[in-house]
Amino acid sequence: MSKVRSSSGIDFGIRVGAVVERDGALLLVRHEKPGREPYWVLPGGRLEPGETIPQCAEREVSEETGLDGRFTGVLYVSEFLREGRHTVDVTALVEAEGEAALGSDPEVAPGSEPTLRELRWVGPEELRSITLLPGHLKEKLLEDGFYGPSENGVYLGGGADA
């Protein structure tokens, strides 16, 4: 995952998270990073230069869950703004079949402790009780039933909860 620092010194990137749903459950991965509380996210990561959003969504699902997926659309676009950081967050819908298995984060240096720690299918009730980042996305997924709005995606705005 490449990071781009603008001339202003801001870490700028585009993150693509994938909604993978099966039998009313959403696939999530749990990260543990030094100096942070563990947190859950959609499988995903930064868009690489020259990579399309569909390619990124499919690659990230494969890396983190072992599933081969097919991009079917963009659900939401939001932003995370904090001093020194600006991330555009694209939430994509990916259809995938097979058995999910915890993968790896290629950014972690060889011999280092992995940041991906758990993979879990969660239903709406369990989703309500866990910390999913970004927080505003969790509310939209619960409201829209994991498939997004009836329109062609929604801009969720900016936030500082990622």
Domain definitions of the chain by residue range: 4-97+114-150
For residue 135, the model assigns a pLDDT of 85
> Please, what is the average pLDDT of the chain?
86
pLDDT tens, position by position, 79-90: 988 888 899 999
Q: Residue 1 pLDDT > 50, yes or no?
A: no
For residue 47, the model assigns a pLDDT of 95
DSSP 8-state class, residue 24: T
Domain 4-97+114-150 has CATH 3.90.79.10: yes
pLDDT tens, position by position, 25-77: 999 999 988 888 899 999 999 999 999 999 999 999 999 999 999 999 999 99
Strands 68-82, 154-159: pairing is parallel
Q: Are 18 and 92 in contact (CB under 8 A)?
A: yes
Of 10-14, 115-119, 153-157, the poorest mean pLDDT is in 153-157
More confident call, 151 vs 30: 30
For residue 81, the model assigns a pLDDT of 87
DSSP H/E element including 57: helix 53-65
With pLDDT > 90 as the criterion, what percentage of the chain qualifies?
A: 57
- Tokens representing 17 are 């998270």
End-to-end Cα spacing for the chain: 17
Q: What is the pTM of this model?
A: 0.84
- Separation in Å, CA 161 to CA 39, 131, 147: 12, 11, 22
Mean per-residue pLDDT for 87-111? Answer: 86
Q: Which amino acid is at 19?
A: V
For residue 160, the model assigns a pLDDT of 55
4: which residues sit within 8 A by CB, 6+ positions away? 11, 12, 13
For residue 155, the model assigns a pLDDT of 52
Of 58-62, 94-98, 113-117, 130-134, the poorest mean pLDDT is in 113-117
For residue 74, the model assigns a pLDDT of 92
